[in-house]
Amino acid sequence: MGLNLPLFLDYLSWGDVECVQDPRICYECTALMVSDKLPIVLKRWLSPPRNADTHDFVVDCMQEIGLRELISLHSTVQHLKKDLSQAQLTKMTLDDIIETFKGMSFGVGAPQLWTVLQHLACTGDQQSWNTYKSPTLVVTFIMWMLLYLQSHHNSDGPKFLTLFLKSQGISAKSLDALHAFGITMSYKWAVEAVEQLSSAQMSEVHDVVQSGQPWFMSYDNVNIPFRTFAQCIDHQHHFNSGTATTIYIQPHAPPIPALSFQALQTQCAIGGKTPITFQKIISLEREAAQRSHPHFVWHVLQALLSSPDFDLATYSARDSPVFTPLQPNHELPCGHDYITKQYVLETQQVDEASYDGNLKLLGIWQEQLGLGSHAQKIVTGTDRIIVVGGDQFTDHNGHDRLDWLVIVFGWFHLLMAFANSLHRQYLGSGAGHGLMHAFTILSRKGLGTVQTRGPFHQHLHEAISHMAEAHFRTCWKSPAKLLQLADRIITQMSSSDAIEHQDLKTKTDRDELLRQSAMWNRDVLRYLELHKVMKKGDIGHMEDMLPYLLFRFIGGRNSKYAIEILELLQALHLEEFMRTRCWLVNFHRGCEHFTPVDKAQEKNIKAVKVTFRVIGPFATWDHIGKISPAIPSLEAVQHHMEKQVRTVYRGSSHTSPSHEKDVKTLGDAYVASHVHEFVPGCHIEGKNDIAFDFVQQGTHNLWKTIAQWWDQRSFPRATEQVYCDLDVD
């Protein structure tokens, strides 16, 4: 028959119809396919003892398998081609992509190509050595690159990585270099994508505002230096001021009563005739003091428990209800339904430091939000309330008079003003026992003078916290009856009563150092409590702090915040919306991630100036404004990527060194100076070391401040509504 080995193998391998139909041959073929010997035989054929080479055949097979599997993945990497949006970008997860690539479901997947690449990327020894590198991620990006090289439509991976790198401020040349290697998209695409995200965000916020959902806004100035690369007379380095604006909304929160325009105007008319009284403010302070006292005791208790000298684990009463955290006065709800969503409007080259600048900005914002038409201005002037910073003016209709504005202040800047007030009051000298003394023995540089730039306030806050903890621990005499001890520290060493107790003594019996220490403890407790409750969203406790803050700012001659607090106390009829939506925002699910609105705005300012800064010859205000709305989307991509790879552990939070040594050093100094022990006739020698009681001075000057404030705001206010002179779009 002329049958040879090649023909035999051909017939055996389904090369002849009769052989395929023969039962015996079919049985033998099946036995061969499942035999353990077959892989061994094939490996021998791959490298025979003579010159015959079958590697080309193997390569062809690998190419065919790899190409077939990659083609099956095309539909899985084209989502961003159809929908380049924040929702789609944050919907993509590496875990899902990896499972799709390495598995096979309904004909989609590349398990064999994945296995080959995984083996090539990491040997057995490397698998046991590697602690950081992930071959899984490497293989994923290799397959992304291969798919992108096959077609620019298969670009989910490069697009996602490009926007992540763009959110990190990558340069144009670096991005184009990565694009040349097929890793990312080009810089041109990145710019167009950011503009597309900006446009989508502006359309979305426009719809939100038009939908009638409650929202509010904040804004602040942004100062940007522009650098030229070829200087001429009319082309020099320059520094410009602009304004960045943010809209906030809780899209999933249960509805609350919206601010009523008519109710607001009615209340303003009533409030314009009757100011809040001295007696009312004193009454608010007394009621707030009763509610706040347990929280102050708890704060001191925590300072005592954190002392190395006290071991809670060995304390016999460690399971006592005393150690159960207190319930907040009025805590904001948290969770998915209460996450705040923000929209950054187009940054404008308008300085908000002047009245004219504010008026111009209000017009620009209304245009951006779709509220600039004649009809919308009538609605705004007669039936819409917008919570935003502003001033009162007198004009011919409700729109131009800004009847629709509700003014709020930022708690973050108020907290900074509080810290500055403590700095001014208790700075003293290195020879005293105030802040300068603490700065000196702790070697804290650059804190002698209040600064507005850099990490000054972070360092000042840490120094105040350490100093306060040292004071409270110094008051500790015995671990017995901790709750009673903490309460005694409050009443006898950290209260106005303790200060008054010293004031009633004769000069020869009075201990001025003990009096000043009690005053410091009283004031710093409120500062630390305000800092804590703002993070926890306890707006009830924040409101309870207002009378005390009013006294402090009046006594410390900080008239700006004194007037702001008076206005807020006068307008607490708006409390439901203002307190629950306009003081704090929460961009996370947790209940300890609340942020003052003005601090959130400062972060957006940083994003415009630093994180997503525009540099180079095309850095213009128009371009900055065009890309500003994309900031929330880019931040969302950044956080989404960081959660999936290990970059989340680098630079995402500030880690402070242990403060125990600082607290112990300060505590030893206070013990040696007997600052919390009564020493009759103890006087403070240096004039600079004497701290005046701002709260007491503020209480004495409250009458005068209310009168001056009322004299500046009790003016006739027009009520007519004449819109015929408005420009019609």
pLDDT in tens, 13-50: 777 788 888 888 888 888 888 888 888 888 777 777 76
List of residues 6+ apart from 505 with CB closer than 8 A: 511
Give the containing element (helix H, strand E) for 698. Answer: helix 694-700
The CA-CA-CA angle for residues 467, 490, 668, to 5°, reads 35
The answer as to whether 142 is a domain residue is: yes
Walk across the sheet containing 238-249 and list its strands: 341-344, 238-249, 216-226, 386-387, 405-406
Query: How many angstroms separate the CA atoms of 64 and 57, rounded?
Result: 11
Query: How many angstroms separate the CA atoms of 426 and 373, rounded?
Result: 54
SS3 283: helix
pLDDT, position 729: 43
Query: How many angstroms separate the CA atoms of 633 and 198, rounded?
Result: 8
pLDDT, position 403: 62
Per DSSP bridges, beta strands 594-596 and 584-586 are: antiparallel
pLDDT, position 475: 79
Q: How many domains are contained in the chain?
A: 1
Tokens in use for 573? 């009829």
The answer as to whether 49 is a domain residue is: no
The answer as to whether 87 is a domain residue is: yes
The answer as to whether 117 is a domain residue is: yes
Place of tokens 């200060």: 499
SS3 216: strand
Q: Which residues in the chain land under pLDDT 50?
A: 389-398, 479, 648, 726, 728-729
Query: Residue 108 phi/psi, 5° resolution?
Result: -115, 125
Nearest to 258 by CA among 245, 249, 271: 249
Nearest to 528 by CA among 302, 332, 284, 288: 302
**What crossing angle do the helices spanning 482-493 and 512-536 adopt, rounded to 10°?**
120
Place of tokens 């300072």: 303
pLDDT, position 720: 59
The answer as to whether 93 is a domain residue is: yes
Per DSSP bridges, beta strands 386-387 and 405-406 are: parallel
Beta bridge partners of 242: 222
The answer as to whether 473 is a domain residue is: no
SS3 276: coil
Contact between residue 582 and residue 216 where contact means Cβ atoms under 8 Å apart = yes
Beta bridge partners of 118: none
Query: How many angstroms separate the CA atoms of 220 and 572, rounded?
Result: 24
- The amino acid at 664: K
Contact between residue 593 and residue 606 where contact means Cβ atoms under 8 Å apart = no
The answer as to whether 578 is a domain residue is: no
pLDDT, position 378: 78
Nearest to 690 by CA among 431, 315, 378, 324: 431
List of residues 6+ apart from 727 with CB closer than 8 A: 374
- Tell me the pTM: 0.82
The answer as to whether 258 is a domain residue is: no
Tokens in use for 149? 């090289």
Query: Residue 406 phi/psi, 5° resolution?
Result: -115, 125
Q: Find the length of the chain.
A: 729
Chain centroid, CA 401 distance in Å: 34
Quote the domain boundaries for residue 101.
66-185
Query: How many angstroms separate the CA atoms of 88 and 82, rounded?
Result: 10
Contact between residue 702 and residue 278 where contact means Cβ atoms under 8 Å apart = yes
What DSSP designation does 235 have?
A: B
DSSP state string for 374-411: HHHHHHHHHH--EE--------SSTTTTTTTEE----H
The Cα-based distances of 98 to 93, 140, 148, 444 in angstroms read 9, 7, 16, 50
pLDDT, position 397: 44
